[in-house]
Amino acid sequence: MKPKNKNLVFMECSEAIAEAVRLCEPGVIATYPITPQTGIIEHLADIVATSKLNAEVINVESEHSAISACIGAQATGIRTFTASSSQGLALMHEMLFIASGLRLPIVMAIANRTLSAPINIWNDHSDTMAQRDSGWLQFYCETVQEAFDTTIMAFKIAESNKILLPAMVCVDGFTLSHVSEQLQILEQKQVDSFLPRYKAEFLLNPEKPITMGALASPQYFTEFKKQQQEAMLSSINVIKEVNKQFLSKFKRSYGDGLIEEYKTNDAEKVFIALGSVCGTIREAIDEMRKKGKKVGLVKIKTFRPFPEKELLKATKKAKKIAVIDRAVSLGNLGPVFVEVKALLKNCKNDISNFIAGLGGKDITKRDITESEKFIGEKNLWI
C-alpha cells in the first residue's frame, strides 16, 4: 500500500541525510569513508553520478584532507559538505579550528562512533564531545526525519551573516545512521524557498585579492576569538528563528530548536539527554507515568551553543535531575553533566550523572526505569 502523500517514504537515515544535502545543492562534496558514516557519502556520490546534483565530488586521501578541501572550496564562495566519524573526526581536529576561525559555514554530518582504543566501531558521543570547543555548532538528532530536517536548517543557520560558523549534524552511528524510518521528503522548490543561495560576503578571488588566515599578534588574536564567541552566542536567536520558519513552512519543529521538552510541566524528576536514546526515554517515561511517577525529559538538540537559559527554565520545577551522557570526560564525569551541573550550581535541584551506552552498549527502557530510582542520589555507569 503506497502512502497517500507522495513525499512520504521509508528511508535509511544515511540516505535521508544525503537527500537533504542534494536539496541544499552544495557545489563541492569532499569524501573519505569511515564506518558508520560511509553510507552518507556513498549515496551522495551516486546522486552526483546520476546527474541529480551538479557538484564536484572530491575523493581525498584522509579526513584531514576532506575538511581541508571543504575549507578551500568554501573560501572561494562555494557551499560545501562532508561527513565523518570517530577517528576520522579526530584526524580533522587541527582543521576544525581553522574552519571556524576563518568563519566558513561548512556543514558536516557525523555518524557518532566511539574513539579507540580499544577498537570499537559502535556508537557513543566521545568523538563530537572531544571537539566541543572547536567553534562548530553542534546539533544532535533523535529520528531520521529530524536528521533530514536538521541538515537543511544547518545550512541556513551556519550561512546567516550574523553567524558564519561551521555546523555538525550528529546522528548516532548504526543506532540511527543505519535505521530506516518513514519520513517526508521535501521538494526542491520548497527547499529553494526556505534556503537562499549561498553568497559569501568575503571570498578568495584573484580579481579582488584579500587575505585569509593572516598572522594575528597577541593584541589582535583575542579580538578574533571574541568575535567567534559573540557569533556563537548570537546563533541562539538565529537557531530559534530558523526553527520557527521551518515550522511555519513545513509544519514540523523540534522544540525551540535548542531543547525539546517531554512531560516536564509537573515533573519532579527530569532526564536530560541527547540523540536517539531520547526515544527510549520517552517510552520509559510513559510507563512510569502510568505508575504515578512524575517524570519528564529535556532533550538537548543544540549542544553548541549551550542552551543555558532554556535549560534553566525547563528544569526549574524539577526536584531531581539525571543527565545521561554517552561520553566521559576522563578524570571528571560526563561532558554534558559537567556543563549542566555548572549551570545549576545555584539551584536547589539534586543532580546525578549516568554514564551510559559507551561503545554502543544498549540503553534499554529497563535501564531508564531502574536508574530513575537513583536520580539525585548517586552517579552511575550503565
For 49-72, what is each residue's pLDDT tens digit?
999 999 999 999 999 999 999 999
Rounded-to-5 percentages of helix, strand, coil across the chain? 40, 20, 40
Between CA 195 and CA 153 the distance in angstroms is: 8
49, 21 in Cβ contact below 8 A?
A: no
For the chain, give the percent of residues with pLDDT over 90: 95
For the chain, give the percent of residues with pLDDT over 70: 98
Concatenated DSSP letters of 156-210: HHHH-TTT---EEEEEETTTTTT-EEEEEPPPHHHHHHHSPPP--SS---TTS--
pLDDT at 3: 43
Do 191 and 264 fall within a single domain? no
Q: Which of 21-30, 216-225, 344-353 has the highest mean pLDDT?
A: 21-30
Give mean pLDDT, residues 76-88. 98
Name the domain boundary from 220, 250, 280: 250
Between CA 307 and CA 252 the distance in angstroms is: 21
Give per-residue pLDDT as tens, 103-112: 999 999 999 9
Between CA 224 and CA 212 the distance in angstroms is: 13
The range of the structural domain enclosing residue 331 comes to 259-381
Do 300 and 185 fall within a single domain? no
Do 341 and 231 fall within a single domain? no
Give mean pLDDT, residues 335-357. 95
pLDDT at 6: 62
Give per-residue pLDDT as tens, 271-328: 999 999 999 999 999 999 999 999 999 999 999 999 999 999 999 999 999 999 999 9
Total domain count for the chain? 2
Name the domain boundary from 250, 267, 297: 250
How does the average pLDDT of the chain come out, rounded? 96
Kindly report the CATH number assigned to the domain that includes residue 279: 3.40.50.920
pLDDT at 5: 62
Kindly report the CATH number assigned to the domain that includes residue 183: 3.40.50.970
Q: Is the pLDDT of residue 238 over 90?
A: yes
Do 228 and 319 fall within a single domain? no
pLDDT at 244: 98
Between CA 75 and CA 99 the distance in angstroms is: 9
φ/ψ bin of 331: left (φ > 0), alpha (ψ from -120 to 50), beta (otherwise) = left
Between CA 6 and CA 46 the distance in angstroms is: 22
Name the domain boundary from 250, 275, 300: 250
Q: Is the pLDDT of residue 257 over 60?
A: yes
pLDDT at 7: 76
| Residue 190 half-sphere exposure toward CB, CA atoms < 13 A | 17
pLDDT at 201: 86
Dihedral through CA 128, CA 83, CA 258, CA 150, nearest 10? -160
In a domain, 3, yes or no: no
Give per-residue pLDDT as tens, 18-31: 999 999 999 999 99
